[in-house]
């Protein structure tokens, strides 16, 4: 996974990227509601007013951060699953990559998973094109598997995708909010992958 | 306890319940952040100050509402699954009952699913004993099925329970926030139930 390069990819000489990276850190540390634009400015090493040259508001910062990072996640995910031939392998890669990203980038994951849920503006008013794109990658894997006869065609692919996303997202949330004795999220990805694949596969499961 | 004090307690309880019911409606209609205590008082038919005789704050109202309703949900769920003999049937009942509840009580589901996610105080600071209880009901079904040899023992039961909860919760969220052409959530419960059961079952699935 190119997950490692996701946050670091933010080029240091690009002020917009620097502000977004700072927002990611400050949102994760303080929570979206308690985060102050002045803290983000300080973290980014720019004047408070500079933030408003690039972003309309704190809400706009969160929405932009989500779109930028989810676009990077979608690109990385597409590159990863392109290496797999079988739909089953692609599905397993998807789940593995999602949870590896959470494991490797807890601050980013905290913002995407915890903070976004808490922004009512975001959840209800924003159309989240990159989130839709992310779900589409997963739905396409399932639909392909169904049309090739690998997966059971009973469940509509977009609905299965939403459900599988919910499963990995909830495990990410449990892991991120769990304070002591965190479970092994990378191992959990293998369990979830096996369970889902067995559930979807048409033939007798190999496990 | 005298008859008089019992009656007094009943009417106090009645008022508390009326305020909680009003809060449920107002939170669902306006969202937690935009809801005003005065609106809740009006809806409940009590004076604004009366609310504070029963609840410390708007946050306390949301937390109390969650605990009271989740306790009712847990009781109903326990009664439902007690009717099933096989763990597979219990698991299917759990998923079916959860999504039927969303279908039948969208206002309550909206508060429990959407609004709670948006209360950072709630998510990070409150221990949610009734939510833990709800997850435990599900984890117990899975653990029982594993010890009886019905279910694959590979995935730890609490982790499987959290994942399955995430799947049904995400479908509930998609259904609640979907504005047009809502999918059939009752039918979705059957799909999810089949997928999960097939994924968990040790023997060859009958598909």
pLDDT one digit per residue (tens) for chain B, 207 residues? 444 545 556 677 789 999 999 999 999 888 888 899 999 999 999 999 999 999 999 988 988 998 899 999 999 999 999 999 999 999 999 999 999 999 999 888 988 887 776 665 565 656 678 888 999 999 999 999 999 999 999 899 999 999 999 999 999 988 988 866 688 999 999 999 999 999 998 765 444
Chain A contact for B82, CB < 8 A? no
pLDDT tens readout for residues A104-135: 998 889 888 877 766 655 656 566 788 889 99
Confirm whether B207 is domain-assigned.
Answer: no
If asked whether residues B175 and B192 sit together in one domain, one would say yes
Q: By the 8 A CB rule, do A94 and A137 touch?
A: yes
Q: Can you tell me the distance from the alpha carbon of B124 to that of A68, in angstroms, rounded to the nearest whole number?
A: 26
Per the structure block, which two tokens stand in for B93?
A: 């009942």
The residues near A46 (Cβ < 8 Å, ≥ 6 apart) are A15, A18, A19
Are B139 and B181 found together in one domain?
yes
Query: Do residues A71 and A9 make contact, with C-beta atoms less than 8 angstroms apart?
Result: no
Which residue from A minimizes the CA distance to B184? Answer: A159
A-chain residues near B204 (CB < 8 A): 204-205
Q: How far is A118 from chain B (nearest CA, A)?
A: 3
The predicted structure's pLDDT at residue B96: 96
Kindly state the average pLDDT of the residues A142-162.
94
User: Is residue B177 within 8 Å of residue A122, measured between CB atoms?
Assistant: no
Question: Nearest residue of B to residue A124 by CA position?
Answer: B177
DSSP A117: G
> Are residue B49 and residue B62 in the same domain, yes or no?
no
Query: Cβ B171–A166 below 8 Å, yes or no?
Result: yes
Closest CA to A14 of A64, A57, A54, A71: A54
- What residues of chain B lie within 8 A of the CB of A117, using their CB? 117-118, 123
Q: Is A160 on the interface with B (CB under 8 A)?
A: yes
pLDDT classification of A44: cutoffs 50, 70, 90: very high
- Whether B20 is in a domain gets the answer yes
| Distance to chain A for B150, nearest Cα, Å | 14
Are residues B44 and B63 both part of a single domain? no
> Same domain, yes or no, for B111 and B33?
no
B195 and B124: one domain? yes
Q: What is the mean pLDDT of residues A65-90?
A: 94
Distance CA B166, CA A163 (A): 8
pLDDT of B42 reads 97
- Print the domain residue range for B187: 58-200
> Kind and range of the H or E element at A195?
helix A185-200
Does residue A177 sit at the B interface (CB-CB below 8 Å)? yes
Backbone angles phi, psi at B86, to 5 degrees: -80, 145
- Residue written as token pair 């039918």: B187
Contact at CB, B170 and A167, closer than 8 angstroms: yes
Report, as an integer, the average pLDDT of A44-56: 94
Q: Is A186 on the interface with B (CB under 8 A)?
A: no
Share of chain A above pLDDT 70, in %: 84
CA distance B15 to B86: 41
Cβ within 8 Å, pair A154-B32: no
B64 lies in the same domain as B42 = no
What's the CATH number where A101 sits?
1.10.357.10
Looking at the predicted structure, is the pLDDT value of residue A86 above 80?
yes
In a shared domain, residues B81 and B11? no
**Cα nearest neighbour of A205 on chain B:** B204
Query: Residues of B with CB below 8 A from A33's CB?
Result: 120
Main-chain phi, psi angles of B174, to 5 degrees: -60, -40
Chain B residue with minimum CA distance to A126:
B177
- Do B134 and B183 share a domain, yes or no? yes
Per-residue buried b or exposed e for B54-91, using 16+ beta carbons within 10 Å of the residue's own CB: bbeebeebbbbbbbbbbeebbeebeeebeeeeebbebb
Q: Which of B113, B162, B168, B177 to mutate to test the interface with A (most CBs of A within 10 A)?
A: B162
Give domain status of residue A207, yes or no: no
Give domain status of residue A171, yes or no. Answer: yes
pTM here? 0.86
- pLDDT for res B121: 56
Last residue of a domain, one of B16, B32, B55: B55
Q: Please tell me whether residues B97 and B51 are part of one structural domain.
A: no
Residue A205 backbone phi and psi in degrees, to 5: -65, 150
Kindly state whether residues B104 and B193 are assigned to the same domain: yes
- φ, ψ of residue B13 to 5 degrees: the values are -60, -40
Task: Check CB contact of A174 with chain B, cutoff 8 Å.
Answer: yes
How many domains does chain A fold into? Answer: 1
% of chain A beyond a pLDDT of 90: 62
Q: Which helix (H) or strand (E) holds A95?
A: helix A87-104
Cβ-defined contact of A159 to B198 (cutoff 8 Å) = no
Look at residue A142 and tell me if it is in a domain.
yes
Inter-chain CB proximity A164 and B167 less than 8 Å: yes
Per-residue pLDDT at A8 exceeds 70: no
Number of other residues whose CB lies within 10 A of the CB of residue A38:
12
HEC profile for chain B? Answer: CCHHHHHHHHHHHHHHHHHHHHHHHHHHHHCCCCCCHHHHHHHHCCCHHHHHHHCCCHHHHHHHHHHHHHHHHHHHHHHHHHCCCCHHHHHHHHHHHHHHHHHHCHHHHHHHHHHHHHCHHHHHHCCCHHHHHHHHHHHHHHHHHHHCCCECCCCCHHHHHHHHHHHHHHHHHHHHHCCCCCCCHHHHHHHHHHHHHHHHECCCCCC
- Supply the pLDDT for residue A126: 61
- Note the pLDDT of residue A13: 53
The chain B residue lying nearest A163, using CA atoms, is B167
Q: Which of B30, B55, B80 is the endpoint of a domain?
A: B55
Q: Answer whether residue A3 shows pLDDT above 90.
A: no
Q: Test B167 with A169 for CB contact under 8 angstroms.
A: no
In a domain, A205, yes or no: no
In a domain, A77, yes or no: yes
Q: Does any domain span residue B206?
A: no
CATH number for the domain spanning B22: value is 1.10.10.60
Same domain for B40 and B121, yes or no, is no
**Given an 8 Å threshold on Cβ–Cβ distance, is B171 in contact with A163?**
yes
């Amino acid at each position: 996974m190119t997950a490692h390069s996701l946050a670091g990819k933010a080029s240091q000489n690009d002020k917009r990227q620097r502000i977004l990276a700072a927002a990611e850190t400050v949102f994760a540390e303080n929570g979206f509601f308690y985060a102050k634009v002045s803290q983000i400015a300080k973290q980014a090493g720019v004047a408070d007013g500079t933030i408003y040259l690039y972003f309309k508001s704190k809400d706009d910062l969160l929405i932009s951060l989500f779109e930028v990072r989810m676009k990077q996640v979608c690109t990385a995910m597409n590159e990863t699953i392109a290496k797999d031939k079988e739909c089953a392998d692609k599905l397993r890669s998807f789940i593995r990559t999602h949870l590896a990203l959470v494991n490797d980038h807890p601050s980013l994951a905290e913002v995407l998973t915890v903070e976004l849920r808490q922004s009512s503006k975001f959840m209800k008013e924003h159309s989240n094109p990159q989130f839709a794109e992310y779900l589409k990658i997963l739905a396409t894997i399932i639909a392909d598997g169904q049309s090739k006869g690998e997966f059971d065609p009973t469940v509509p692919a977009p609905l299965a995708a939403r459900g599988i996303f919910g499963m990995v997202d909830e495990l990410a949330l449990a892991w991120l909010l769990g304070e002591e004795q965190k479970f092994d999220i990378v191992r959990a990805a293998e369990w979830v992958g096996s369970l889902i694949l067995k559930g979807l596969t048409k033939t007798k499961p190999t496990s």
